[in-house]
Amino acid sequence: MQSNSLTRRTALAATGAAVAAASSLSTKPLRAQSKTDVVVIGAGLSGLNAAMLLEEQGYKVQVIEGRDRVGGRLLSLRDIPGNPEAGGNGIGSGYGRMIDIVERLGIPMLNSAGRAQITPFELYLDGERISAEQWPTHARNILPEAYKAFSPRLVPLVLLRQTNPLASFEDWYDAKSKPHDISVYDVFKNNGFTDEQIDLTYNLNVPYGTSAHDISALMMWFNDGWVASMEGGEPVQLSAIGGNMTIPEAMAKALSSEVHIGRQVVGIRSDDSGAEVVCGDGTVYKADRVVCSLPLPVMRYIKFDPYLPSVMAKGIALVPYFPMTQVHLVAKEPFWEADGWSPDMWTDTVAGHVIANRHNVDNTDVTSLTAWARGFTALQLDQVSPEEGKAWVISEFERIRPSAKGKLEAPQIKSWLRDPFANGDYAVWEPGQVTEFLHAIGQPHGNIHFCGEHTALSNRGMEGAMESGERAAFEIMDT
Ligand SMILES: Cc1cc2nc3c(=O)[nH]c(=O)nc-3n(C[C@H](O)[C@H](O)[C@H](O)COP(=O)(O)OP(=O)(O)OC[C@H]3O[C@@H](n4cnc5c(N)ncnc54)[C@H](O)[C@@H]3O)c2cc1C
Which H or E run contains 54? helix 45-56
The span from the first CA to the last CA of the chain, in angstroms, equals 22
Name the residue ranges covered by the structural domains of the chain: 2-72+242-319+430-478, 114-143+323-415, 144-230
Q: Which residues of 13-46 are buried (b: 16+ CB within 10 A; e: fewer)?
A: bebebbeebbeebebeeeebbebbbbbbbbbbbb
Along the 479 residues of the chain, how does pLDDT read in single tens digits? Answer: 333 332 333 333 333 333 333 333 334 444 677 899 999 999 999 999 999 999 999 999 999 999 999 999 999 999 999 999 999 999 999 999 999 999 999 999 999 999 999 999 999 999 999 999 999 999 999 999 999 999 999 999 999 999 999 999 999 999 999 999 999 999 999 999 999 999 999 999 999 999 999 999 999 999 999 999 988 777 899 999 999 999 999 999 999 999 999 999 999 999 999 999 999 999 999 999 999 999 999 999 999 999 999 999 999 999 999 999 999 999 999 999 999 999 999 999 999 999 999 999 999 999 999 999 999 999 999 999 999 999 999 999 999 999 999 999 999 999 999 999 999 999 999 999 999 999 999 999 999 999 999 999 999 999 999 999 999 999 999 99
Closest residue to atom 17 of ligand 1, CA basis: 88
Domain at 114-143+323-415, CATH from 1.10.8.60, 2.40.40.20, 3.40.250.10, 3.90.660.10: 3.90.660.10
Domain at 2-72+242-319+430-478, CATH from 3.40.30.10, 3.50.50.60, 3.40.50.620, 3.30.360.10: 3.50.50.60
Strands (E), 54-189: 61-64, 109-111, 122-125, 128-130
Contact 442, 450 (CB under 8 A): yes
**Count of other CB atoms within 10 angstroms of residue 103:** 10
Residue 271: strand pairing partners: 274
Ligand 1 nearest-atom number relative to CA 326? 1
> For 305, how many CA atoms within 13 A lie in the half-sphere containing its CB?
19
From ligand 1's centre to the CA of 465, what distance in Å? Answer: 8
Residue 14, by phi and psi: left (phi above 0), alpha (psi -120 to 50) or beta? alpha
Among residues 243, 238, 245, 241, the alpha carbon closest in space to that of 362 is found at: 241
| Ligand 1 first shell, C-beta below 6 A | 41-47, 65-67, 72-74, 87-90, 263-265, 293-295, 298, 324, 416, 421-422, 425-426, 452-453, 461-465
Among residues 322, 342, 329, 312, the alpha carbon closest in space to that of 436 is found at: 312
| 3-state class (DSSP) for residue 130 | strand
